[in-house]
């Protein structure tokens, strides 16, 4: 959080910026625009300098923090797996079902609908820019996107599959054999549950949203944000939102109790979901969650892990009172909401994959059959 | 079915061929390849000439039989609607859920899973090349794709929505306002249920699969099919499959009793589904269905309206005995199956749309809430 602005800005301007967690030396090949950003004669110079102490633009490409390779064949395989509903036991749900690339990486439901029409316990978080998070899931229980990818596919309320059935499914389709061989060319048996997860991770690492209005402004374009949005940024900083929601992803880095100052209503913070406490069994982790990343937040209602708040402005007010003990004025709440809208970046343009043809041995989908008595197809 | 081959071939070679139902005059600007097709010295000449009496290649673009315009703004709107799960009451299902562009336009389930995890009564048919069908649905009860598009969105076991709630949803999102205004520029109130359907129809009219191996062969490239596939075509014609499955779409034109010669097993033809009889209440229409179009059939198991047959070769045998009273030899069944594999064309490459942002007044999704007790996101 204390990087000097010039470092952040030059990093951001590199087309294939390295993982943004690492502190970089100033790039000697910085483009002229970096100079614009630092121009002291801009009326926004002071606000920009303060913002640059806290935030970084989304780069146009990301690396995995682990250093694992993001090769084109891995991306292609990962994309295919991500969109394939046959990864679920029922044949109904794919990763895309709850992390829709057309809906900001979410499903816009309070909580997701899964196998047998069960409702998941938490709101589906976006995978867009998830590569920039320190850990995955609301409670950070997965270290990275590969570990995360192994979760929903096995969860009983989500895809309800088993690694064995998944591998049998993948092995039965020659198309997947080719995709895995290309993605993991040095391995004799490339179709493994680990590689399934690594491929999805590689694809998801490409799902980033650069060039938001805020990022353009941060990089020196005064007109990229309007006056209300700039007032909102000022109010965001004055209120202290950046204490938790900062960095390249405006969050996703650290853990905080939800209700640091004042417990939210029980519908917003259901009593039964104690957050990180379930992972650590540490009393201090009661109702502790990972600070939500705020990139594209205007695209992803409803809000909070409970998913019960549908308006961003309401979410802003709740956070302000629960976490900071501040009652925002109407104008402040509206301005901050307007500012958050500037965090919407370019959404990924994904060509829907053509999925491999099933084989004779491919396990059949296993939905739970219920009686039907309705119009025919 | 009695068009002279030269007409069909020249039509097929035009990049934007007009609706294939209309009989065309021979194109004076026919490319040299048309000559190859008619070359009498090819060893395939005789088989090709016979095939050309029955079949036509998929053109590279289609027009709507109604003559309604397929404009780029309509396609874009239709694509957005097609992929938007908020068109369903639950917010879970879109057209794409059951007509997956990555799965040959189907969901690869025996019957589709819909609202509240209900199972639909019939297997989900593909929308790929549906523009070439004389009518839509297994029983042909929708005259065209626009009429069809109004069905699933309202069906209780599918998307379970109402036109009113749908229109309210669309009107609440400024992004849809812009898309509808662009697609229907001369209308003051462009957001209507009819226009919803017309836009989806325009998008679906682009979902065609030209350039299959068979089409290449039909257009004169001997090597596009191998010997087994050519034997399969010979066997297909000798058995009489083309009596029902012919034309550009290898079916989709007329109605026939399923079990013309011999009733299939009750699992394949469930007693309770009397097909077209439900529409016409005419005794002759008992178990009558539209002849299924066979384009891309290798991609779309399971088969029949009941969806209980998973292997194409089994489906071929059942059709042969039920419709033609013929017991195919193993070799014939395998050859015909291999031939049907040549009907797989180029699959549509669709960039997943970025869906409009919801508005403050957008109706919330209404899934049926069930208790949850499972791993969290």
From CA B155, how far away is CA B159, in angstroms rounded? 6
Nearest-by-Cβ selection for A90 from B113, B139, B375: B113
Residue A287: its pLDDT value, please?
93
Q: Is the peptide bond before B291 cis (omega within 30 degrees of 0)?
A: no
Comparing alpha-carbon positions, the chain A residue that sits nearest to B364 is A109
Strand partners of residue B93: none
* Residue A364 and residue B310 in contact, taking contact as beta carbons nearer than 8 Å: yes
**pLDDT tens by residue, A38-67:** 567 899 999 999 999 999 999 999 999 999
Nearest-by-Cβ selection for B355 from A102, A124, A377: A102
User: Does position A278 have pLDDT exceeding 70, yes or no?
Assistant: yes
Angle CA B340–B345–B349, to nearest 5: 145
Classified as helix, coil or strand, B118 is strand
Instruction: Kindly determine whether residue A374 and residue B273, on different chains, have CB atoms separated by under 8 Å.
Output: no
Instruction: Kindly determine whether residue B109 and residue A103, on different chains, have CB atoms separated by under 8 Å.
Output: no
Instruction: Kindly determine whether residue B374 and residue A157, on different chains, have CB atoms separated by under 8 Å.
Output: yes
User: Does position A228 have pLDDT exceeding 90, yes or no?
Assistant: yes
From CA A226, how far away is CA B230, in angstroms rounded? 67
Nearest-by-Cβ selection for B370 from A119, A278, A372: A119
Q: Is residue B175 within 8 angstroms of chain A, CB to CB?
A: no
Residue A367: its pLDDT value, please?
81
Strand partners of residue B288: B257, B275
Instruction: Kindly determine whether residue A85 and residue B100, on different chains, have CB atoms separated by under 8 Å.
Output: yes
Out of A200-214, A263-277, A337-351, which region has the weakest mean confidence (pLDDT)? A263-277
From CA B149, how far away is CA B80, in angstroms rounded? 14
Q: Is residue A375 within 8 angstroms of chain B, CB to CB?
A: yes
* Residue B107 and residue A88 in contact, taking contact as beta carbons nearer than 8 Å: no
User: Does position A3 have pLDDT exceeding 60, yes or no?
Assistant: no
From CA B293, how far away is CA A183, in angstroms rounded? 36
Classified as helix, coil or strand, A46 is helix
CA A257 to chain CA mean position, Å: 20
From CA B200, how far away is CA B196, in angstroms rounded? 6
From CA A30, how far away is CA A7, in angstroms rounded? 10
CB atoms within 10 A of CB B40: 7
Q: Is residue B107 within 8 angstroms of chain A, CB to CB?
A: yes
Q: Is residue A152 within 8 angstroms of chain B, CB to CB?
A: yes
Residue B58: its pLDDT value, please?
98
Residue B230: its pLDDT value, please?
98
Q: What is the mean pLDDT of residues A334-362?
A: 97
Instruction: Kindly determine whether residue B108 and residue A358, on different chains, have CB atoms separated by under 8 Å.
Output: yes
From CA A225, how far away is CA B362, in angstroms rounded? 26
From CA A176, how far away is CA A186, in angstroms rounded? 16
Best B88, B96, B351, B376 member to test A by mutation, with max A CBs in 10 Å, is B376
Classified as helix, coil or strand, B12 is helix
Q: What is the end-to-end Cα distance of chain A in Å, rounded?
A: 57
Q: Is residue A122 within 8 angstroms of chain B, CB to CB?
A: yes
**pLDDT tens by residue, A309-325:** 999 999 999 999 999 99
- Calculate helix-pair angle for A5-13, A45-54, nearest 10 degrees: 80
Strand partners of residue B114: B118
From CA B81, how far away is CA B87, in angstroms rounded? 7
Cα B96 to Cα A119, B105, B305, B362, distances in angstroms? 21, 8, 19, 21
Q: If pLDDT is split at 50, 70 and 90, which confidence band does A210 have?
A: very high
Q: Label residue B256 left, alpha or beta by phi (over 0 means left) and psi (-120 to 50 means alpha).
A: beta
Comparing alpha-carbon positions, the chain A residue that sits nearest to B141 is A377
Instruction: Kindly determine whether residue B358 and residue A119, on different chains, have CB atoms separated by under 8 Å.
Output: no
* Residue A195 and residue A187 in contact, taking contact as beta carbons nearer than 8 Å: yes
DSSP for B19-87, written as a single string? PTTS--PPPTT--HHHHHHH-TTSTTHHHHHHHHHHB-PPPSS---TT-----HHHHHHHHHHHT-GGG
Instruction: Kindly determine whether residue A90 and residue B101, on different chains, have CB atoms separated by under 8 Å.
Output: no
> How distant is the Cα of A28 from the closest Cα of chain B, in angstroms?
37
Residue A368: its pLDDT value, please?
66
- Chain A residues touching B111 at Cβ < 8 A: 372, 377
**pLDDT tens by residue, A130-154:** 999 999 999 999 999 999 999 999 9
Give B225's Cβ-side CA count (13 Å radius).
Answer: 31
Q: Is residue A357 within 8 angstroms of chain B, CB to CB?
A: yes
Per-position b or e across B114-140, b if 16+ CB within 10 A of its CB = bbbbbbbbbbbbbbbbbbbbbbbbbbb
Q: Is residue A346 within 8 angstroms of chain B, CB to CB?
A: no
Chain A residues 195-214 with CB within 8 Å of chain B? none
pLDDT in tens, chain B (377 residues): 333 333 333 333 333 333 333 333 344 444 444 444 556 789 999 999 999 999 999 999 999 999 999 999 999 999 999 999 999 999 999 999 999 999 999 999 999 999 999 999 999 999 999 999 999 999 999 999 999 999 999 999 999 999 999 999 999 999 999 999 999 999 999 999 999 999 999 999 999 999 999 999 999 999 999 999 999 999 999 999 999 999 999 999 999 999 999 999 999 999 999 999 999 999 999 999 999 999 999 999 999 999 999 999 999 999 999 999 999 999 999 999 999 999 999 999 999 999 999 999 999 999 865 444 444 55
Give B231's Cβ-side CA count (13 Å radius).
Answer: 12
> How distant is the Cα of B200 from the closest Cα of chain A, in angstroms?
17
Residue B123: its pLDDT value, please?
96
- Chain B residues touching A100 at Cβ < 8 A: 85, 355
Instruction: Kindly determine whether residue B367 and residue A125, on different chains, have CB atoms separated by under 8 Å.
Output: no
Residue A377: its pLDDT value, please?
56
Phi, then psi, of B110 in degrees rounded to 5: -60, -55
Q: Is residue A174 within 8 angstroms of chain B, CB to CB?
A: no
Nearest-by-Cβ selection for B92 from A110, A113, A120: A113
Residue B367: its pLDDT value, please?
81
Q: Which of A158, A201, A204, A229 is catalytic?
A: A158
Q: Is residue B123 within 8 angstroms of chain A, CB to CB?
A: yes
From CA A172, how far away is CA B290, in angstroms rounded? 32
Question: What ipTM does the predicted assembly reach?
Answer: 0.89
Instruction: Kindly determine whether residue B156 and residue A122, on different chains, have CB atoms separated by under 8 Å.
Output: no
**pLDDT tens by residue, A96-140:** 999 999 999 999 999 999 999 999 999 999 999 999 999 999 999
Q: Which of B126, B169, B114, B147 is nearest to B348 (CA)?
A: B126
Length of chain B: 377
Residue A38: its pLDDT value, please?
54
Cα A44 to Cα A185, A218, A229, B344, distances in angstroms? 51, 10, 12, 58
Q: Is residue B337 within 8 angstroms of chain A, CB to CB?
A: no
Residue B238: its pLDDT value, please?
97
Element (H, E) at B322: helix B312-324
Nearest-by-Cβ selection for A109 from B100, B125, B365: B365
Q: Is residue B366 within 8 angstroms of chain A, CB to CB?
A: no
Q: Which of B236, B19, A233 is nearest to B11 (CA)?
A: B19
Instruction: Kindly determine whether residue B375 and residue A155, on different chains, have CB atoms separated by under 8 Å.
Output: yes
Q: Is residue B15 within 8 angstroms of chain A, CB to CB?
A: no
Q: Is residue B353 within 8 angstroms of chain A, CB to CB?
A: yes
Chain B residues 254-293 with CB within 8 Å of chain A? 273, 278
Instruction: Kindly determine whether residue B121 and residue A374, on different chains, have CB atoms separated by under 8 Å.
Output: yes
* Residue A102 and residue B354 in contact, taking contact as beta carbons nearer than 8 Å: yes
Cα A293 to Cα A237, B9, B347, distances in angstroms? 16, 57, 37
Instruction: Kindly determine whether residue A367 and residue B117, on different chains, have CB atoms separated by under 8 Å.
Output: yes
Residue B38: its pLDDT value, please?
55
Quote the mean pLDDT of chain A.
Answer: 89
**pTM, entire model:** 0.89
Classified as helix, coil or strand, B303 is strand
B158 is catalytic: yes
User: What torsion, rounded to 10 degrees, do the Cα atoms B329, B335, B336, B337 define?
Assistant: 110
With a pLDDT cut of 90, the percent of chain A lying above it is: 86
How many CB pairs below 8 A link A and B? 183
DSSP for A170-222, written as a single string? HHT-HHHHHHHHHHSTT-SS---HHHHHHHHHHHHHT------HHHHHHTT-G
DSSP for B229-262, written as a single string? HHHHHHHHHHHTGGGTS-BTTTS-S-EEETTSSS
Q: Which of B263, B256, B304, B305 is nearest to B284 (CA)?
A: B256
What beta strand segments (E) does chain B contain? Answer: 113-114, 118-119, 255-257, 288-290
Classified as helix, coil or strand, A340 is helix
């Amino acid at each position: 959080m204390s990087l000097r602005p010039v470092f952040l800005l030059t990093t951001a301007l590199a087309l294939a910026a390295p993982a943004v967690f690492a502190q970089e030396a100033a790039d000697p090949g910085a483009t002229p625009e970096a100079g614009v950003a630092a121009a002291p004669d801009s009326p926004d110079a002071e606000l920009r300098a303060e913002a640059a102490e806290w935030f970084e633009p989304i780069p146009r490409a990301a690396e995995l923090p682990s250093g694992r390779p993001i090769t084109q064949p891995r991306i292609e395989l990962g994309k295919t797996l991500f969109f394939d509903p046959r990864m679920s036991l029922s044949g109904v749900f794919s990763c895309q079902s709850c992390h829709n690339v057309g809906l900001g990486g979410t499903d816009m439901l309070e909580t997701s609908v899964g196998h047998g029409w069960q409702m998941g316990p938490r709101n589906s978080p976006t995978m867009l820019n998830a590569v920039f998070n320190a850990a995955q899931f609301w409670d950070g229980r997965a270290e990275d996107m590969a570990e995360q990818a192994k979760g929903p596919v096995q969860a009983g309320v989500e895809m309800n599959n088993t690694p064995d059935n998944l591998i049998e499914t993948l092995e039965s389709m020659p198309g997947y054999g080719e995709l895995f061989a290309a993605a993991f060319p040095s391995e004799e048996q490339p179709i493994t549950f680990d590689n399934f997860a690594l491929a999805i991770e590689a694809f998801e690492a490409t799902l980033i949203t650069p060039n938001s209005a805020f990022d353009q402004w941060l990089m020196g374009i005064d007109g990229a944000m309007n006056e209300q949005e700039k007032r909102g940024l000022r109010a965001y900083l004055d209120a202290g939102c950046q204490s938790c929601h900062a960095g390249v992803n405006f969050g996703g880095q650290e853990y905080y109790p939800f209700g640091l100052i004042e417990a939210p209503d029980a519908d917003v913070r259901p009593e039964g979901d104690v957050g990180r406490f379930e992972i650590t069994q540490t009393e201090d982790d009661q109702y502790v969650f990972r600070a939500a990343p705020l990139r594209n937040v205007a695209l992803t209602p409803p809000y909070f892990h409970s998913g019960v708040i549908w308006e961003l402005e309401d979410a802003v007010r709740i956070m302000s009172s629960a976490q900071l003990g501040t009652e925002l004025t109407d104008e402040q709440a509206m301005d901050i909401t307007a500012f958050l809208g500037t965090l919407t970046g370019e959404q990924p343009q994904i060509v829907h994959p053509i999925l491999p043809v099933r084989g004779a041995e491919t396990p059949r989908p296993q939905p739970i059959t219920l009686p039907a008595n309705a119009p025919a197809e």
